[in-house]
Chain A
């Protein structure tokens, strides 16, 4: 079975500060990992994905994530937060034999001036 745990339902940062959103996964086989962003009243937009190539993955809007197998983690980071980054972020996993995406419960990022 696969699962994803996102630590912190809400994360608050100041504009210009480092963004760190945590994601840990559980999978019995090598996973594919994803981060999605959802702005209010919109659908999900793919930020980045890990599919067993480079462990450091760069995505859109300056976000990146590092796959760490030993820690079963795939944390999302951005060096400097912008007001427009305020949204809900979802980590998700898919694994061999399991076609569907399994999502974490989401982390709402709040950015203050």
Chain B
């Protein structure tokens, strides 16, 4: 597609429920990244994919968080047993995998609210 698409744009869930956030990167972009943006916390790196592999998942906050990417395209970030501190905007970005020389493009994000 023309840009990075994320769905849903907004998600309200009850504490303890599981949620899935979806990212559809730009066609041909081999690298995909998930970030979390919380109030007063800036942009926090979660995980990076090159193709379907995740060479760097160092930013995942706990084992409740997982992500996968299939077909070198769509990625899903899953949060199990959501907690209130998981409330944030989850941003996805994609690039050609050249450290950003050709640019990282961000989606509009999914705003997750855990009540």
Contacts and interface: CB of A to CB of B under 8 A. Distances in A.
Chain B CB count within 10 A is highest, among A43, A92, A98, for A43
Nearest to A93: B100
A77 interface: no
Nearest to B4: A43
A32 B100 contact: yes
Contacts of A51: 100-101
Nearest to A6: B42
Interface string B55-95: 11000000000000000000000000000000000010100
Contacts of A34: 100, 104
B31 interface: yes
Contacts of A100: 33, 45, 48, 56
A103 B93 CA distance: 13
Interface string A51-95: 100000000000000000000000000000000000000101011
B108 A96 contact: no
Interface residues of B, number: 23
Contacts of B108: 42-43
The dominant DSSP class at the A interface is strand
B50 interface: yes
A43 B106 contact: yes
B103 interface: yes
Contacts of B12: none
Nearest to A106: B42
Interface in A1-56: 32, 34, 36, 42-46, 49, 51
Chain B CB count within 10 A is highest, among A32, A44, A95, A102, for A44
Interface of B: 31, 33, 35, 42-43, 45, 48, 50, 55-56, 91, 93, 97, 99-101, 103-109
Which 7 A-B residue pairings sit nearest by Cβ, starting from the closest?
A103-B43, A43-B108, A44-B106, A105-B42, A43-B106, A94-B99, A51-B101
16 contacts: A32-B100, A43-B91, A43-B109, A44-B91, A46-B104, A49-B100, A51-B100, A90-B43, A92-B43, A96-B99, A99-B31, A99-B48, A99-B50, A99-B55, A100-B48, A101-B93
